[in-house]
Amino acid sequence: MRVTADVVFLLDVDNTLLDNDRIIVDLRRHLEREFGVDSADRYWAIFEGLRGELGYADYLGALQRYRSDAEQGGPDDQPLLLMSSFLVDYPFAERLFPRALEVVDYLGRFGPTVILSDGDVVFQPRKLQRSGIDALVIEGSEAGGHIGAVSTAVLAQEILPAVREVPIFVAGGIGRGEAVLAYLEMGASGVQLGTRFVCATESIAHPRFKRAFLRAAARDAVPSPQLDPRFPVIPVRALANAGTARFVAFQREVIQRFDDGELSREQALLQIERYWAGALRRAVIEGDVENGSLMAGQSVALVTREQPTREIIEELLDQAIARMQGRDAASPPVRRAAE
């Protein structure tokens, strides 16, 4: 029996549940007080440049880039590195908006409530954990849909050993039971799979959408193309189609209009961002696989046939169990030392 929710609540963290503007003010004051206005200005210039490159705020990444510059400027710049302890130890729970967690609990009465967030792979998870969340899902760049720049394997190695206070679920590029087992053994509480279940019998995806998955190889699932760093594109991994090619041409046209003075930068960015509006529904529900967005992870290559959800789960379990049994059989017997 398929169970679906009529309503799902998606909540961001920064300036939704957490007063991130207040955190920025505190950080600015700390930088200027401890390291001086010039050092603080240099850090924020690097921070803004990096946010333009990545599409999200990376406080520790900006610090690392500052460090590279500081190493060439002599030891006087090195004290700024102490800022890392300020960030990691910051009392984020005190910056939650009043009754924010009560709102999350209240929404949960009406449907699944999910907190979505992006950011760097070290600071952001700690910020969420210190804010009182119940669990974390870390998703690597192999995933379908909106992605970051870091692979699942690297995320797991960075976060699983460092954050143990809450359950962590690993997502992105997982399609076999052996991979599930590997992440569980690394310390994950579970995994999140999406692409693997698109072609489940119970899935309401359009038959043409499912056929596109069954024909696809891992290399067909690619991030959104970006033509000009002045106009960053939020990366979304999907199967390339005619709509992808038109998106490249559309960006070129919009950028030319900006260069000609017909559009402001904000107008150009908005037009580029809106290109894919409604495209996922067109593909999944309406079956327009040429113009819609075929969001898919790189594990799409492991989707080879339509099958019931129960069968997919049993396959994953069988693969994990076979891996454990094969490993045990290959291990040499342990000899007890003679007493």
Cα 27 to Cα 323: distance, rounded to the nearest angstrom: 48
Whether residue 111 sits in one domain with residue 77? no
Whether residue 99 sits in one domain with residue 168? yes
Q: Which domain holds residue 123?
A: 9-15+94-195
Whether residue 277 sits in one domain with residue 212? yes
Neighbours of 23 (CB within 10 A): 20
CA distances for 1 relative to 203, 239, 296, 308, 310, angstroms? 11, 30, 25, 11, 11
- Evaluate if residue 305 carries a pLDDT over 90: yes
Tokens read off for 169: 């679920």
Cα 304 to Cα 314: distance, rounded to the nearest angstrom: 15
Count up the domains in the chain and report the number: 3
Residue 306 lies in a domain: no
pTM of the model as a whole: 0.67
Q: Read off the pLDDT of residues 244-262 as tens digits, 9 standing for 90 and up.
A: 999 999 999 999 999 999 9
- Evaluate if residue 73 carries a pLDDT over 60: no
- Evaluate if residue 75 carries a pLDDT over 50: no
Residues 6+ away with beta carbon under 8 Å from 137: 168, 169, 170, 171, 192
DSSP 282-300: HHHTT--TTTS-EE--GGG
Whether residue 170 sits in one domain with residue 98? yes
